[in-house]
Amino acid sequence: MTELVLRGGTILTIDPEHRVVGGDVACIDGRIVAVGGSYTPRTRDYHIVDCAGCIVMPGLVQAHVHTCQTLARGRADDLELLDWLRTVIWPYEAALDEEGAAAAGELACAELLLGGTTAILDMATVHHTGAIFEAAKKSGIRATIGKAMMDADDPHIPPGLRESTTSSLDESARLCERWHGSANGRLRYAYAPRFVLSCTDELLREVGAQAKERGVGVHTHASENVAEVALVRQRFGKDNIHVLDDFGLLGAHATIAHCIHLSADERRLLAARGAHVCHCPSSNLKLASGICPLPELIAAGVAVALGADGAPCNNNLDGFLELRLAALLHKHRAGPRAVPAPAAVRIATLGGAAALGLATQIGSLEIGKRGDVIAVDISALHSVPTTSPWSAIAYAAKSCDVRHVAVDGALAVQDRALVHLELPKVRERARAAAATMFR
């Protein structure tokens, strides 16, 4: 048995009553056994970390990232989506080898954990998804990962990324069998058709059926860019969300990144099917894609989450930046009460958990849930004085304030240092792999 006690913080529970309490959070064998008050260890094998001066809260959950792209940070600035994909990202992914994928995955997981993100929904590339799973496993992060699926006959897709419908489905099935539910359930699989334009009708239909059959998620992109929406209309004679629904991909198990350019009808359909939308504000601004109408989605009853997307379109994987931006970005249009601080913090935690299909397991600090917990130091000058912890987390705190991070009741970051990865090695491996790739 292992017992972890995060001692003496201000606890932002994100429970149904939005309780803020003082005291300890304790986990035994990965599960939360106490929230608030003074806790006495129940076993001999306990570990106490000091959280005085910290806000203790559920870890941030990012429901749309591409850890495999991290080596291309700073390589694809100031481009719009389709150029960005065709001229840099797809050639990069086509050239990525096993070592590059491993180095990118480790770098991403290290950055995510140090910044307080404890769980991700990750779209890998077409090949080497096993290396991404291995990196996530080693780092200690909770990850739902899927291999990108791209079987469309599109001349813009480089040969290194093209695959047949059968090989795409077979490889996905193999990865799902190997990894889904492994590492005590910390690693999971989700089917990841890149977007409808990268896939044949046959593949989309099969993914719709197989994801349901296997009881796993679907992770894709839609309606990110005006030119993409026009191409979808040209091919299918209808809009993205209706296309996804036709192929059986829409449901509570589906998370769709971006959803910027939607009709009111598409918003209603997303809500009716219980599908999740992942808002990626930095990525959308940088690629000049537009701004996801988050207040309208919420008003329509659509479940929403946040994500940093990838290092080449952000250029960080910083959950606190996305949280702050999501809270600020919609106010100029929808008024100062659009996405208020408590709502933004809830979306960044429990909203993400729901998008990963894990709302009953993580996303809030409640007895019986898994111990995905972070302690955020609010003694830095930019957080002083602290009045409301909601305000501190949404508007003032930064990822560098994250002091401790636990996933599944085990520390992955202690006193701002990685527990399972060596930071200098991660940095050097990433630099070397990037140098080889971009030689």
Question: Where do contacts with Zn ion occur on this chain (CB under 5 A)?
Answer: 309
Peptide bond into 284 cis (omega under 30): no
Task: Give yes or no for a contact between 303 and 275, defined as CB atoms under 8 angstroms apart.
Answer: yes
Residue among 93 and 206 whose Cβ is closer to Zn ion: 93
Task: Give yes or no for a contact between 59 and 393, defined as CB atoms under 8 angstroms apart.
Answer: no
How many alpha carbons fall within 13 Å on the CB side of residue 357?
A: 21
Residue among 266 and 309 whose Cβ is closer to Zn ion: 309
Q: How far apart are CA 144 and CA 40, in angstroms?
A: 34
Residue among 309 and 372 whose Cβ is closer to Zn ion: 309
Task: Give yes or no for a contact between 17 and 35, defined as CB atoms under 8 angstroms apart.
Answer: no
- Least distance from Zn ion to the Cβ atom of residue 309, Å: 5
Residue among 74 and 237 whose Cβ is closer to Zn ion: 74
3-class SS of residue 233: helix
- Give the H or E element holding residue 176: helix 165-179
Task: Give yes or no for a contact between 374 and 57, defined as CB atoms under 8 angstroms apart.
Answer: yes
- Least distance from Zn ion to the Cβ atom of residue 310, Å: 6
Residue among 309 and 318 whose Cβ is closer to Zn ion: 309
Residue among 283 and 364 whose Cβ is closer to Zn ion: 283
Strands (E), 250-372: 254-258, 276-279, 303-306
Q: How far apart are CA 151 and CA 434, in angstroms?
A: 27
CB proximity list for 228: less than 8 A, separation 6 or greater: 81, 82, 195, 197
- Least distance from Zn ion to the Cβ atom of residue 221, Å: 5
- Least distance from Zn ion to the Cβ atom of residue 21, Å: 37
- Least distance from Zn ion to the Cβ atom of residue 81, Å: 10
- Least distance from Zn ion to the Cβ atom of residue 246, Å: 22
Residue among 92 and 390 whose Cβ is closer to Zn ion: 92
- Least distance from Zn ion to the Cβ atom of residue 112, Å: 15
As beta bridge partners, residue 190 has 217
Residue among 64 and 188 whose Cβ is closer to Zn ion: 64
Task: Using alpha carbons, select from 298, 253, 252 the residue that is nearest to residue 279.
Answer: 298
Q: Which residue is nearest to Zn ion (CB)?
A: 309
Q: How far apart are CA 148 and CA 123, in angstroms?
A: 6
Q: How far apart are CA 133 and CA 143, in angstroms?
A: 8
- Least distance from Zn ion to the Cβ atom of residue 228, Å: 12
Please report, for the chain, how many H helices and E strands are present, in that order: 17, 18
